[in-house]
Amino acid sequence: GQNIDQPTEMTATEGAIVQINCTYQTSGFNGLFWYQQHAGEAPTFLSYNVLDGLEEKGRFSSFLSRSKGYSYLLLKELQMKDSASYLCAVTTDSWGKLQFGAGTQVVVTP
């Protein structure tokens, strides 16, 4: 079967750093996406990794290790507006179809 696993919930303090892990077991791999989804809204694109290593975009960074089937999303200098669900998704072919994990709810506290 195909599995994409991520923690259900994480809590962190404003200004801190949080790392959201995602492990995947899929038949094939053609890239990994991270999305942010606020309650009641559509997901917004954060990052895409297809090669091993770290991709940095401002306060957000995403890391991929294909040999380990592992990725993480790093959120630095947390702000209250970062409270949201973070979705890990894998595409396994060239058609761009995404398989999603269940999402990690990040709660930022003052």
Which residues of the chain form contacts with another protein (CB under 8 A)? 31, 33, 35, 40-45, 48, 50, 87, 89, 91, 95-103
69/101 with CB nearer another protein:
101
| Least spacing, CB of residue 22 vs another protein, in Å | 12
Nearest Cα to 106, choosing from 81, 77, 70, 69? 81
Instruction: In angstroms, give the least distance from the CB of 76 to another protein.
Output: 23
CB nearer another protein, residue 3 or residue 79: 3
- Compare residues 53 and 110 and give the one whose CB is closer to another protein: 53
We find the least distance from the C-beta atom of residue 95 to another protein, in angstroms, to be: 6
d(CA 37, CA 61): 17
Q: Quick one: three-class SS letters along 32-95?
A: EEEEEECCCCCCEEEEEECCCEEEEECCEEEEEECCCCEEEEEECCCCHHHCEEEEEEEECCCC
